Chains A and B, each alone.
Chain A
Amino acid sequence: MKYIFVVLLMIFTFNGCSKNKQNENSVVIYVSEDRVFSEPILKDFEKKTGIKVKALYDTEESKSTGVVNKLIAEKNNPQADVYWANEPIRAEILKQKGLLAKYISKNSKTIANNFKDKDGFWCGFSARARVFVVDKSMKNYPKSVFDYLDKRFKDKAVIANPLFGSTTAQISAIFVKFGDEKAKLFLNGLKKNGVKISTSNGESADFVVKKRYAFSLVDSDDAISRIREKKDIKMIYPDQRDGEMGCFIIPNVVMLIASSKHEQNAKLLIEYLLSDEVEAKLALADCAQIPLHEGVKPPHELKALSDIKVMQVDYAKLAKKLHEIEVFLKEWAGY
């Protein structure tokens, strides 16, 4: 008898721990943007609307198998309603696997077409730029991504693992822009020139701050956070000269999951995330994101998009290319 009691107690305790009650007014969002920045936004939505937000957060890509794997594995019975990705390639992968539902938000109308899916499956907002973070004490600064191959910078540079995250996206962009041959030469050149591979953009930035390396390509939020901490580094937009490819921009992306259980609430959340208000908050926050809506002020350390030479890319093509170069990238990374 006492064992039955213990089992019942366990079930009740679990029920108490699990907040998934069917009748709640809620929405489930999976989030790949850093929790420290995304959680306050979601809490604001909760306060504004009274809709309970149940969030599931990611870690830095290289530390876990991530939220995207969970979304893919849950395909037949989705648990999430919305996915907030921190770059569009994941969105494209999910679209290609049939996990997304079309939804064109009214707030997406003022976002440039190159930052949203042409079929309406996802929309970008609050972007980062891929920039150089540079040790101020250096005599020469890099000006282009291809300066990674410059002999002046041999053994002095670092880059985050190109198998994960925003670095993967940028590498794919180079493959699409310049073709496989030149891109492979570039990657092999990184090794020849002694470029160190770190586990993440954050780690790369810290290496430069600690003067272990002279420069690295990172996301602009990694650079800004360290500049705000008054570290001895500066930020440079790469490839801004005539004839150069421009700076690679990575927007956050929001999308509606197919067969979502709380579709109405999901759409409300998407509307909110794509609003001027959220972009303004993310610009002001330590993540220092660049707004894609016209008229929303960027962080004062960063230029507005209209003042940067932006690399023109089709994110759908990047996702396709990533699949094609998978084998090469794995070999290059030593797997």
Chain B
Amino acid sequence: MMLFIDTVFLSLITTFIAVLFGVFFGVIFEKTTLAFKHTFLILFTLPLLLPPYITALSFSELFGEWLFSFKGVVLVESVIYLPIPMLVTFLLLKNINSSHEDSARIFCPWICVLQKITLPLILPYLFLVSSIVFILSFGNYSVVNFLRYNTFISKIFVEFSAFYEYKSSIILSLLILLMVFMILWFEKNYIKKNYATLFYSSRFKNKNLIELKNFKYIIFTFIFVLLFSFILLPIITLVINSASLSNYIKAFELVSDSIYRSIIYSSIGALIITLFSFLIALIIKRKQLHILDFATISFFALPSSVIAIGLIYLFNNSITSFIYSSPIIIIIAYILKYSALSNRIFSANLAQLPHSFEDSAKVLGASKIYTVLHITAPLLKGSFLLSYFLSFIFLLRDTDMTMLLYSAGNDTFAVKLFTLMANSPQEMVSALCVMMLLIILTPILLWLILRKIF
């Protein structure tokens, strides 16, 4: 029980720091005239792209023994998960009705408008995202294992991995479900009551950028120092450790087939998750079926190994072995595990849509499906894109579930990287890590281009 409470405390601190900095960066990168802000946005997203273990590894080269502590875990996890609240804040602020802020600007300066109007308006939605960050931190095993810090999840892991005790792992996982239930109860009774309709800017939409004036140099330097210390330097260390181009060539020869598989599984999985989550978010909103929210969050919170073993028992039989021995089982696992994040993104955005948008379509004779396809979905373009790319990233870097579910000879890049880590030369491992980063960066750049177009 103490271990559970300790882990909750660790996750709360991590979530607080990740959300604090994430919102700060989201505000700066969306609402100010800071130079290179979109470049900063991409770079701060980088730690999310790598398997958490790799980030911990690169930090350990820089920070040494100090990192192997409570503070170290908080630092690494905060850096890894900060991009989530940052990107969501960015999206929310992009869509906010500027007349809310304009009316406040009559009375007070920007700092006051942010404090009293903008941030309170988006706060309920940020809580939705914070609960995702909390659950990610709570359920993270690879970072705490690397940093040798015992948590509740490591206990479940030990039951599985050291002693093959599934029953006790499953019983321990019930505590996680209880925690999820409490989070959702709090959300329903205190947070969702405060949703405001923020949707879409007025015709003066781009005029609400904050001029930083004298503060621009201080803020720029502060952000750059953070970026360099916690993002760029670890990545540069990886690049330096990879030593030479020949390592990349050797690495590519080793992993080229698994890269192809990873991209296919992740692309298709992300698409299915995005569509599925949109549907679920719609059903939850229209039918108030909160049990679906509970289900998606529960699967998100459960240890990957519990889900994977469950799927093996369910699908590894003569009738469904065609599913089990194909990539379909991996896609199913991804949908179960990662729908919650996309669901939250859609839920936050759907809550912003005025009811009258759909009502007027209904009055004009549109069926429910027609309304969804032609009114609701197009208005959530940003959410579709964000959901797809976040899902793609999480799927591409997944190892725990994929390791247990992939069929022999069909490993993914993340799994191959992990299996090669043991006793491969350090330069090779570093080259593989850099390659993973490059592969994941490509859709990010694509996302930015698509955002400009749409």
Q: Which of A277-335 contact B (CB under 8 A)?
A: 286-287, 323, 326, 329-330, 333-335
Q: Which of A50-88 contact B (CB under 8 A)?
A: 53-66, 68-70, 72-74, 76-77, 79-80
Q: Is the CB of A65 within 8 A of B268?
A: no
Q: B155 — which chain A residues lie within 8 A by C-beta?
A: 330, 335
Q: A68 — which chain B residues lie within 8 A by C-beta?
A: 164
User: Which stretch of A34-42, A103-111, A186-194, A248-256 is in the interface?
Assistant: A34-42
Q: Is the CB of A63 within 8 A of B410?
A: no
Q: Is the CB of B309 within 8 A of A63?
A: no
Instruction: Indicate whether A35 sits within 8 Å of B148 (C-beta atoms), given known contacts A19-B410, A74-B316.
Output: no
A265 CB to closest chain B CB, in angstroms? 13
Q: Is the CB of B409 within 8 A of A59?
A: no
Q: Is the CB of B410 within 8 A of A13?
A: no
Q: A101 — which chain B residues lie within 8 A by C-beta?
A: none
Q: Is A164 an interface residue (CB 8 A)?
A: yes
Instruction: Indicate whether A74 sits within 8 Å of B419 (C-beta atoms), given known contacts A18-B327, A164-B161.
Output: no
User: Which stretch of B108-116, B233-241, B317-325 is in the interface?
Assistant: B317-325
Q: Which of A30, A69, A163, A323 has the most CB of B within 10 A?
A: A69
Instruction: Indicate whether A74 sits within 8 Å of B312 (C-beta atoms), given known contacts A14-B327, A20-B325, A65-B400.
Output: yes
Q: Is B407 an interface residue (CB 8 A)?
A: yes
A208 CB to closest chain B CB, in angstroms? 15
Chain B's interface: helix, strand, loop or mixed, by majority? helix
> Quick one: closest B residue to A323, CB to CB?
B163
Q: Is A154 an interface residue (CB 8 A)?
A: no
Q: Which of A70, A202, A222 has the most CB of B within 10 A?
A: A70
Q: Which of B157, B165, B312 has the most CB of A within 10 A?
A: B312
Chain B residues with a Cβ closer than 8 Å to the other chain, count:
54
Q: Is B265 an interface residue (CB 8 A)?
A: yes
Q: Which of B163, B264, B327, B408 has the most CB of A within 10 A?
A: B408
Range, interface on chain A: 35 or more
Q: A59-B399, A65-B308 are in contact. List 18 more A-B contacts (CB 8 A).
A: A17-B261, A18-B407, A28-B409, A36-B422, A57-B419, A60-B421, A61-B162, A64-B418, A65-B404, A70-B404, A73-B312, A77-B316, A79-B408, A164-B161, A200-B422, A202-B422, A330-B155, A333-B150
Which positions in B face A, CB cutoff 8 Å? 3, 53, 65, 142, 145-146, 148, 150, 154-155, 157-158, 160-165, 260-261, 264-265, 268, 305, 308-309, 312-313, 316-318, 321, 324-328, 399-400, 403-404, 406-411, 418-424
